[in-house]
Structure 1
Amino acid sequence: MKALRIVLIEDEPVTARNLAHILEHLDENISIISMLTGVKEAVGWFNAHLHHYDLVFMDIRLTDGLSFEIFKQARVNRPVIFVTAYNDYAIEAFKNNGIDYILKPFNEQEVARALQKFETLFRSAEQVPDGSMFTRLLEQFQASVKSYKKSFLVHYRDKLVPVETVKIAWFYTESEMVYGHTFDGKQYILDFTLEQLEQQLDPQLFFRANRQFIINRAAILEADFYFNGRLSVKVKPEPAERILISKARVPEFKSWMNT
């Protein structure tokens, strides 16, 4: 059987190595011909290798920008399987175009499923998708990407003050009020519930620890083992109340911290 030539575009070395290992384990005919880490590097590679590959596994957020920029600057004329840490994108728009996705953190079964879809839709029929497919993919996907909240306009000493989201260490609710506590120790009342905030905050940066707290990744110092399989998370600045993560949510928290 002809070797399946795959290009990996991933800026996290551990994730890239893990994906390459899974792919090579799934099919001995798979050949990882290039492992790229950023938009600029990928653009240069695709412009120099128009037809020297069969399939691309591509992360969405790279160190130098979104991978969508690659499509604007280079001709990608083979199927792409996106790898993403976001589960709230409207991904169905491009799945109908014969493109699949893998949600981080992934496992071997998910990679195998994506490969099988590629085999069924393209390789078995010896089809090569044209550029218009990827143009439609780019337009549909970008139109569906959720925009996360960058700042909050808050009341502070008879003024309206903009506060950048990344400067908030944790959000906390008490007595039906919601507060945002910044890294420099200031606290603001917010006109949102924690449930509403959870939908507006970047899930890579913020985690819903429990019913009372949403915490910023940058505020976390460590997590200690607590009673009944729970975790006690230490953050800076330190809140008056202990932040506990339930036993059921510990695996999700560990996975989030490990990405």
Structure 2
Amino acid sequence: MKKPFISLATTLLAAVLAAPAAGAADAKPTIILVHGAFADSSSWDGVMARLQKDGYPVIGAANPLRSVKGDAAYVAGIVKSVPGPVILVGHSYGGSVISAAVQGNANVKGLVYVAAFAPESGESAAGLSGKFPGSTLGPALAPPVALADGGKDLYIQPARFRDQFAADVPAPKAQQMAAGQRPITDAALNEASPAPAWKTLPSWFIYGKADKNIPAAAQDFMAKRARSKKTVVVDGASHVVMTSHPTEVAALIEEAASSAK
């Protein structure tokens, strides 16, 4: 009389034990969004909303913008806190950071560069920006702010912020972005990058043709050098393509995430 009961209990136990494994297999990778200079995590708001709606766990990293090495270590710590696969997404200088943040983090499965730098070992963001003509960032910067350690913080002049950084963003939004911009140190923009992760991981690129911070020619060069799996060029988009065209950016991130194993 007890055998049917034991058999049923065993079957139920097997089903319960199997359920988490199936759920884990279906779990989507975590998307870590790393903002760049003169921005903050709110620049990803439209992208975040779309990713979360589609069931992706999302982390908006508060990039310190102090140094490539230090910022990469900070992001690497966030990556280590995530138990499953990760897609790293970087905007602008954040591309330099994600390129250097992968060491020792085998759960990073792909890199997405959003109007971002993808430096080779020894290259700097400032050097890459000037590699091709077209960047007008230099004249748009405000006088540097002196720091206690002897360094300098850089901002974009509020009056020139929209034209330089966010020309395709509505004026009221661009004004808010200018007021809340995060400064970057001059040293970070000129710091030589370590060996980049794009040499060993698949990467995807998206940028705007009207980017005035990083010329489109420079971004095309970096995407081709990294053997981008897919490159999306948004006609007329500014440097903050993730703010003005969140649908296109989210779609490319999801494409990258779908390849994560």
TM category (shorter chain) comes to: 0.3 to 0.5
TM-score calculated relative to the size of structure 2 = 0.36
Higher relative contact order (CA 8 A, sep 6+): 2
Structure with the largest fraction of helix? 2
Structure with the largest fraction of strand? 1
TM-score calculated relative to the size of structure 1 = 0.36
